[in-house]
Structure 1
Amino acid sequence: MEARLNLSASPLAAKSMRYLASASRVIVKDSTLPATTQDLVMLRASQINGCGFCTDMHTKDLAHAGETSARINLVAAWREATVFTDAERAALVSLIALINAANRLNVIVQQPAGDHQPGQFG
């Protein structure tokens, strides 16, 4: 499978992606929310939005960071899963707008999933 559009080949798309990445860095780095919780939230939103690229990325990043397979697998059922704290449950209904934008962009261009390497985006 190939993406419909090469986002880095289009000057306008590449510029838009830099702004999206910049906004993401501000939220991620300035937030007091732990990085693992942020990735769990982004994984869940990516699952809901059907973004294979982002689901692949966040799953691998969580595993690379030492997250358990039980928590990674149960994020889809976070309401009923006993492996999440109350704070993590609260976070799983926030921090959604930015990942929604990335998911929707990747779904639109049909960005292929499976090749992500933890840390490749800095």
Structure 2
Amino acid sequence: MSSVWLNEKSKTVEGHTNTATLYFKGEKIVGPFSCHDNTVDIQTALRQVDDRMELRLARKDKTVEGHTRAFNIKHNGKEILSNHSCHDNMESLVNSINTIWKIMPPSS
């Protein structure tokens, strides 16, 4: 079983220099939304769990935003990504991934 979730965390202020958009089997699911350079770690973790998903990152002008959430991914009982600092705008990404995985779980 695979799942993604957000935890609340103490606020930190980060410079966002990217946007991220989630694709599933080449079809746009959600985004784009503002994100930090560290989102590449979420992108990598998603690839490890489900190669049908692609989180595409694109550069944008820098904005400064507060991170109040931590992003987590678990697959087959193993933590793939734990307490990864992010913005609360990632909730739509989390909901989209969990909905897809509920209907069509990753094969690995």
Asked if Structure 1 and Structure 2 have the same fold, meaning a TM-score greater than 0.5 normalized by the shorter chain, the answer is no
Structure whose residues are more often strand by fraction? 2
> What TM-score, normalized by structure 1, do the two folds share?
0.29
Larger Rg: 1
Structure whose residues are more often helix by fraction? 1
